[in-house]
Amino acid sequence: MELPRRLTIRDVAKKAGVSTATVSNALNDVRGVGADVRERVLAAAKELGYRPNVAAQATRTGRTRQMAFITPDLTNPFYPRLARAVANAARAAGYALLLVDTQDGEAELACIEQIARHDVDGILWCPATGEDVLARNLLGAPVVVIDENHIGRDSIAANYRMSSTLVAHHVAACGYRRIGMLSGPQSIFAAKLRRDEFIARLGPDEQVVWEVFHPFHQDLNDAAREAVLRNEVDVIVCCDDVMAAACIQLALDHGLSVPGDMAVIGHDDMPIATMIRPRLTTVRQPLDAIGSEAVRMMIERIEEPRRANRSTAIDVELIVRGSSFPGDQRPA
């Protein structure tokens, strides 16, 4: 059976009654094409079912219309949700997304070497540690760092100083004085910043009774389990919702009440926050906004390679639910 002929830019030009150059400019959103002409070209392309030849475009323009998104751990629900936000924004901008999981950073350097072979236009990177490992590899593609801050690179993250302030104020408003902390790995910028800023905002009557540094994982280690079950604090502040949910379940499994015996506060507002009982008080990260801004910053960097680096922090929101008492509702 004879295969159907591949549609070309000439077919679209003939259908729209314009030149092939005009079709190319309209499809690539080049300035100088009138709105009515652009609309006619897009309508003709849609009616014909024309899809641009990305390989040919890359040869002509030097751009592949692909971005890479590097994430350290797809088993943590935070990163798949962030990946979806980035993918949606990239798709809307006309870019395909290459998703790379570095497996908690163990394969980070090897994955970067693989990306170099794909000739992407830009790299959106969630680092596994505080080290700028991309500096060791001359990829040539621009980089936007997400959820981290590296000097000399564009970066975007949630406003973690704001999140720490909101949690500290909520702890004070609820009258909690004895605090336990399940803090994330301090090699990670976000975990260290949340932890340090929260402690800096505690009042003179508030005391951190214990602190356990823990991976972003639902299986609590022995030190964390022992600290929780000692039942000697008013509130446990966790670095993410996965830890917080595990903390609540552990307490309930051993006959403790949440928030009666201890309140629990998380971070991120993942779906698990409303699935567990009691529902989790947590900080909501605006992942859609972070994904959109990351892609926008990347496109700006691609189009203006020499512009000054920019660091952006996006505001967050504290969501109070049943795992903590809102101030005057706390029993004596």
Beta strands in 114-177 (DSSP E): 122-125, 143-146, 154-158
Token couple for 11: 């077919």
Do 87 and 117 contact (CB within 8 A), yes or no?
A: no
| 41: nearest Cα among 20, 16, 62, 75 | 16
Q: Which residues of 316-328 are buried (b: 16+ CB within 10 A; e: fewer)?
A: bebbbbbbbbeee
Cα(148)–Cα(299) distance, integer angstroms: 19
Q: How far is CA 175 from CA 93, 195, 251, 264, 329, in A?
A: 48, 20, 21, 14, 10
**Helix H or strand E encompassing 212:** strand 207-213
Buried-state track 47-74, b at ≥16 Cβ within 10 A, e below 16: eeebebeeeebeeeeebbbbbbbbbbbb
Residue ranges of the domains in the chain?
Answer: 9-52, 66-157+287-314, 160-285+318-329
Same fold flag, 66-157+287-314 and 160-285+318-329: yes
Winning range, highest mean pLDDT, from 72-76, 138-142, 266-270: 266-270
CA torsion angle 243 246 248 252 (round to 10): -160
Round the average pLDDT of the chain to a whole number and report it: 86
Q: Tens digit of pLDDT for each residue in 282-318?
A: 999 999 999 999 999 999 999 898 899 999 999 999 9
Q: What is d(CA 3, CA 31) in angstroms, rounded to the nearest whole number?
A: 36
Q: Which CATH class is domain 160-285+318-329?
A: alpha beta
* Tally of helices (H runs) and strands (E runs) in the chain: 12, 12
Question: Does domain 9-52 fall into CATH 1.10.260.40?
Answer: yes
pLDDT digits (tens, 9 = 90+) for 79-108: 999 999 999 999 999 899 988 888 766 677
Relative to beta strand 207-213, strand 235-238 is: unpaired
Out of 6-20, 141-155, 159-173, give the one with best mean pLDDT: 159-173
Task: Look at residue 5 and give its three-state secondary structure.
Answer: coil
Higher pLDDT, 73 or 166: 166
Please count the CA atoms within 13 angstroms of the CA of 293 that sit on its side-chain side.
Answer: 19
User: Which CATH superfamily includes the segment(s) 66-157+287-314?
Assistant: Response regulator (3.40.50.2300)
pLDDT at 5 over 70: no
**Using CA atoms, how far apart are residues 205 and 264, in angstroms rounded to an integer?**
19
